[in-house]
Amino acid sequence: MICLGIEGTAHTFGIGIVDSRGNILANVTKTYLPKQGGIHPREAAQFHAANAKTALVEALKSAKLKARDIDLVAFSAGPGLGPCLRTAATAARALACWLDVPIISVNHCIAHIEIGRLIEGAKDPVTLYVSGGNTQVIAFDAGRYRVFGETLDIPIGNCLDVFAREVGLPHPGGPQVERLAREGENYIPLPYVVKGMDLSFSGLMTEAVRKYKDGADLRDICFSLQETAFAALVEVTERALAHTEKREVMLTGGVAANQRLREMMRLMAEEHGARFYVPPREFCQDCGANIAWTGLLAYTHGARQRLEETVVRQRWRTDEVDILWR
């Protein structure tokens, strides 16, 4: 069976093609870059619509397949930005109708975990999923992916991006902050907020901006911002690991590209004797292959949907989805 997956939850429009043995035949992504400021949902959606056809043609070409070879269409139904989700859903429905093949909606967060399990061979990890739109600590238990910790306000990627914008660094801010942080030497105390297993980054972000306005060295602030925010993320993951007594840790999402976060997570995993996994960058970021593989897993384990059930859900929770394949 060959599944084509469409990703479109935020700034990336992606088409991936996988077969039922887990071979990734194509993975094409088109990424919207705002001219100024952050992601504008409507502009991002228009970008997706404008790039959908090219992405599809490129994906089929790279997989050396004809459209008729596709047996199943999967798409990201949430969580994400409404206009983007609806655009990707429309593309998926049109394609499924035209090809007369089944369609299946996929939870974006779960897709990140499943591609990691496929590619890295992790069996049952505690996953820290960190991106511009999401921050969750997730572990599997009794048929569902349970959320052990999550942000109470803004995601970590958003915290870094908005901070960067406020101090005049270009979008996306994460890599800029990371680069400057490497040159920082002095740790400036910033609010460290862990509430049980949950996190909060809005106060941290505001305070970091204030320190900048008060004249502190930007490199030191970037360093301190990363150290404080990441320590909180790693602590919550560590708590989930201790609580669930699992033996594997996985880091994924766009912020997984950050080398310092990787190092901290690796040190934590080692201390607990757990194996540590980070999927390759291509699959940490949003892409169609994640969606295609997860849709294929669901379909081959009995999930079915009628077209009118393929509704998008901007705030679709990870722990609402029954995982039929585990």
Partner 1 sequence: MSLIKKGAEANLYLEDFSKVLHPAGAGKVIVKHRVSKEYRVPQLDLRLRESRTALEARLLADAKVAGVPTPAVYEVDRTGMRLVLEFVEGERVKSVLDKLKPAQRHKLCRLIGMQIARLHKAGMVHGDLTTSNMILTKNGKVYFVDFGLGEYDRSLEARGVDLHLLKRALQSTHFRIADKAYAAIIAGYRDELGKSADDIIRRAEEIERRGRYVPREERTWT
Site string for partner 1, 44-83 (x = CB under 8 A): -----------------------------------x--x-
Q: How many CB atoms lie within 10 A of CB 236?
A: 24
CB of 151 to partner 1, least distance (A): 6
User: Among residues 139, 130, 110, 144, which one has the least CA distance to residue 244?
Assistant: 139
Candidates 49-57, 66-74, 148-156, 294-302; binding stretch for partner 1 (CB under 8 A): 148-156
Candidates 116-124, 160-168, 239-247, 274-282; binding stretch for partner 1 (CB under 8 A): 239-247
Candidates 96-104, 172-180, 283-291, 307-315; binding stretch for partner 1 (CB under 8 A): 307-315
- Interacting residues of 3 by C-beta distance below 8 A, sequence separation 6+: 17, 18, 19, 20, 70, 71, 72, 73, 74, 292, 293, 295, 296, 299
Decide if residue 231 touches partner 1 (CB under 8 A). Answer: yes
> How many angstroms separate the Cα of 191 from the Cα of each of 127, 157, 188, 281, 291?
24, 17, 10, 30, 36
Q: Which DSSP string do the residues of 84-96 spell out, in sequence order?
A: HHHHHHHHHHHHH
Decide if residue 219 touches partner 1 (CB under 8 A). Answer: no
Candidates 16-24, 95-103, 226-234, 285-293; binding stretch for partner 1 (CB under 8 A): 226-234
- Interacting residues of 49 by C-beta distance below 8 A, sequence separation 6+: 87, 91
Q: Which residue has the tokens 């004809």?
A: 66
Give the one residue of 21, 142, 214, 215 binding partner 1; rule: CB under 8 A.
142
Residue 52 CA to residue 56 CA, distance in Å, equals 6
Decide if residue 198 touches partner 1 (CB under 8 A). Answer: yes
DSSP element (H, E) containing 314: none
Q: Which residue has the tokens 């992916």?
A: 145
Give the one residue of 51, 87, 176, 228 binding partner 1; rule: CB under 8 A.
228
Report the residue number, 58 or 192, with the smaller CB distance to partner 1.
192
User: Among residues 307, 196, 301, 152, which one has the least CA distance to residue 321?
Assistant: 301
Give the DSSP letter of residue 151: B
Decide if residue 275 touches partner 1 (CB under 8 A). Answer: no
Give the one residue of 114, 178, 227, 286 binding partner 1; rule: CB under 8 A.
227
Give the one residue of 42, 271, 324, 325 binding partner 1; rule: CB under 8 A.
271
Q: Give the distance from CA 56 to its chain's centroid.
A: 21
Give the one residue of 84, 147, 249, 292 binding partner 1; rule: CB under 8 A.
147
- The structure tokens listed for 282 are 């291509």
Site string for partner 1, 93-122 (x = CB under 8 A): ------------------------------
Angle, alpha carbons 230-153-133 (nearest 5°): 70
Decide if residue 306 touches partner 1 (CB under 8 A). Answer: no
Decide if residue 132 touches partner 1 (CB under 8 A). Answer: no
CB of 238 to partner 1, least distance (A): 4
Decide if residue 247 touches partner 1 (CB under 8 A). Answer: no
- Contacts of partner 1 in 155-194 (CB under 8 A): 155, 187, 189, 192, 194
Report the residue number, 76 or 318, with the smaller CB distance to partner 1.
318
> Which amino acid is present at 12?
T
Ranges of beta strands (E only) in the chain are 2-7, 12-19, 24-31, 72-78, 103-107, 126-130, 135-141, 144-150, 194-195, 198-199, 248-252, 275-277
How do beta strands 275-277 and 248-252 pair?
Answer: parallel
Chain residues binding partner 1 by CB under 8 A are: 79, 82, 86, 89, 134-136, 141-142, 144, 146-148, 150-153, 155, 187, 189, 192, 194-198, 227-228, 231, 234-235, 238-239, 241-243, 263-265, 267-268, 271-272, 311-319
